[in-house]
């Protein structure tokens, strides 16, 4: 018998109201997310971030310095769920 499992939805909302120089990454799930790291790829510079925990509803600011507004790049987000499984999400800014 075929066993199917519901996909785990990305738990983040990327708020772009202050783009292209600032973005807010909000945990929209109902569980805390641990060991977050953010790595920026593209023109300009965004300091690498490492956060121990992001609780439900909490947001993390991402600042991008320099570079052209139309080419802000992408951010790779890494985190762990409470069951310790690791996930990656690559999102265009």
For the segment(s) 12-92, the CATH number from 1.10.3470, 3.40.1620, 2.40.50, 2.60.40 is 2.60.40
Contact 12, 54 (CB under 8 A): no
Per-residue model confidence as pLDDT tens for the chain (93 residues): 677 888 899 999 999 999 888 999 999 999 999 999 999 998 888 888 899 999 999 999 999 888 777 777 899 999 999 999 999 999 998
| Distance in angstroms (rounded) separating the CA atoms of residues 47 and 12 | 19
pTM, rounded to two decimals = 0.87
How far apart (Å, rounded) are the C-alpha atoms in residues 61 and 67?
18
Q: What are phi and psi of 71, to 5 degrees?
A: -135, 60
């Amino acid at each position: 018998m075929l066993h199917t499992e519901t996909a785990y939805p990305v738990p983040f909302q990327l708020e772009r109201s202050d783009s292209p120089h600032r973005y807010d990454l909000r945990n929209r799930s109902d569980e805390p997310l641990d060991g977050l790291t953010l790595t920026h790829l593209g023109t300009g510079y965004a300091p690498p971030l490492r956060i121990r925990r992001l609780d439900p509803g909490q947001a993390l600011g991402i600042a991008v310095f320099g570079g052209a507004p139309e080419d802000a790049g992408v951010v790779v987000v890494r985190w762990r769920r409470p069951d310790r499984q690791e996930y990656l999400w690559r999102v265009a800014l």
